[in-house]
Amino acid sequence: MTTATSTKGTLIHMGKAGAMPAALVPTAITKAKPAVVSVADTSTIKAGDLVKCDVTGFPELDGKWFVAGTVAVGTFALAGSDTTGSSGALAASPSIHHLADSDLANLTTCLSDIAMAREAPAAIEAGTYADPTMTVTSQVVKAGTFAFKGQIDITDPAYAELLAAEKDGLARPLKITLVNNGAVIAPVTVAMTMQETPLSGSQAFSGTMVMATAPRHLF
């Protein structure tokens, strides 16, 4: 039976400008669901942290952001990953990067709403005399956007970080941590922010984030 869960307690984090992720060198990666990474030291990693698999030798992992799952001495799991039956093998010079809390801006404090928008694949006409109604599904689909809203507070570092992200136009990881339901991860660029000053109401802002790749729900 499906259980409804309140959005209260949802956490939203985005990578800061100039953040310097810590480099990790994997010594082993299991073929499992989830994949478990072995490294020399896991003392700075905790469950829920963002990690980027740069070069691992596993196509299921390379180039993707993951959330650290169970962390033990010398190992951590990549929540939502699946290397079972993978043809990959640990790369000769493997590389993973880890973002600590200090590398992330906590947007939870300033956002009042964030909504994902995805485009449906287009149907391309491919009719023939035998079947004039034939169509094929387009393989080109935009990753999508996040529309966000919040209250203006120039003393909130999160608001300043959103403005900085719009100005530099750099891609940053976005993590939306759901209550008891994993996390949604996507690399985003803040494309636009707008300040709103209604005659009756609070000083607010809204904007759009553009996703570089499709969002992934990891759990």
Report pLDDT digits (tens) over 167-218.
Answer: 999 999 999 999 999 999 999 999 999 999 988 889 999 999 999 999 999 9
* pTM score of the predicted model: 0.87
**Cα–Cα distance between 184 and 158 in angstroms, integer?**
19
Helices assigned H by DSSP within the chain: 157-168
Q: Please give the Cα distance from 9 to 20 (Å, whole number).
A: 28
Strands 28-29 and 36-38: antiparallel
Give the pLDDT confidence score for residue 141 in this predicted structure.
63
What pLDDT is recorded for position 135? Answer: 72
- 119, two tokens: 């485009």
The dotted CATH code for 105-218 is 2.30.110.20
Q: Where along the chain do its domains lie?
A: 19-100, 105-218
For 134, other C-beta atoms within 10 Å of its C-beta total: 11
Q: Is 19-100 a CATH 2.40.30.180 domain?
A: yes
